[in-house]
Amino acid sequence: MLMPHEKLDNNAPIVTVKTRTPLHLDQGVTAEIVSFNGLSDDKEHIALIYPAPQGSEGKTPLVRVHSECLTGDVFGSSHCDCGDQLHEAQSKMAAQGGILLYLRQEGRGIGLYSKIEAYKLQHDEGLDTFAANRHLGFADDLRDFCLAADMLKALDIKDIRLLTNNPEKVAHMEGCGVKVTERISTGYFEKEANAHYLRAKKDHGHRFSED
């Protein structure tokens, strides 16, 4: 993963837009779904571009860099806050426009099957999500947020307002050439099943709107 102090790789392939097409959404808006060529990990990451309301064109766009979470995003798991954050971002962007970058980086980059193994460790041994990943031999976070920066640059976006609780996302985006003019916290979606998970995120530097 590129750290904020590291130099950009000028020899890296240029990321370009592959396909853009309208996508009709349940929020009553038509967004644009975008695929890309040249992404460094060869995975199928996408952007969802919500239209800006009339009169607000040119405003620094609201951006959410969201890592795929099948259990939370699709199945509604209450063990995390991923699905809640995704749906909150979609609601905000349906109202004010924005760009949702959906990265195929399940389980902080460890993959779905390993994430299920981490879930078992959390359930059986009481480990938090970070400790469970380490127990399986992974670092706390294997995600590469420079992918998101490359996608934005392919869309000719250089300045953003970033919807995130994770200051590392801000640092990585700026280290990869995208200026973050504002960090906006998501809501705090605590449930009985995810309280331990949210405490672990706080302990690792995440800043929630209630802080």
pLDDT at residue 206, rounded to an integer: 67
Whose CA is closest to 193, among 115, 129, 148, 149?
129
The tens digit of pLDDT for each residue in 94-150 reads: 999 999 999 999 998 999 999 999 999 988 888 888 888 899 999 888 888 999 999
Q: What backbone torsions phi and psi does residue 5 show, to the nearest 5 degrees?
A: -85, -10
The tens digit of pLDDT for each residue in 149-195 reads: 999 999 999 999 999 998 889 998 999 999 999 999 988 777 777 67
Q: In whole angstroms, what is the distance from residue 15 CA to residue 181 CA?
A: 23
Active-site residue 211, yes or no? no
pLDDT at residue 211, rounded to an integer: 47
Domains and CATH numbers, the chain: 16-105+143-203 (3.40.50.10990)
Q: Is the pLDDT of residue 6 over 50?
A: no
Active-site hit among 141, 150, 159, 203: 141
pLDDT at residue 9, rounded to an integer: 55
The tens digit of pLDDT for each residue in 58-95 reads: 789 999 999 999 999 999 988 888 999 999 999 999 99
Active-site hit among 143, 150, 161, 203: 143
DSSP 209: T
pTM exceeds 0.95 for this model: no
Buried b (16+ CB within 10 A) or exposed e, 115-131: bebbbebbeeeebbbbb
pLDDT at residue 7, rounded to an integer: 41
The sign one gets for the Cα dihedral 105, 87, 32, 152 is negative
Q: How many CB atoms lie within 10 A of CB 153?
A: 16
Number of H helices, E strands in the chain: 6, 7
| Average pLDDT along the chain | 87
C-alpha distances (whole Å) from 124 to each of 1, 72, 132, 192 are 31, 20, 11, 17
Active-site residue 124, yes or no? no
Better-predicted residue by pLDDT, 20 or 132:
20
Q: Is the pLDDT of residue 26 over 60?
A: yes
Q: Which amino acid is at 121?
A: L
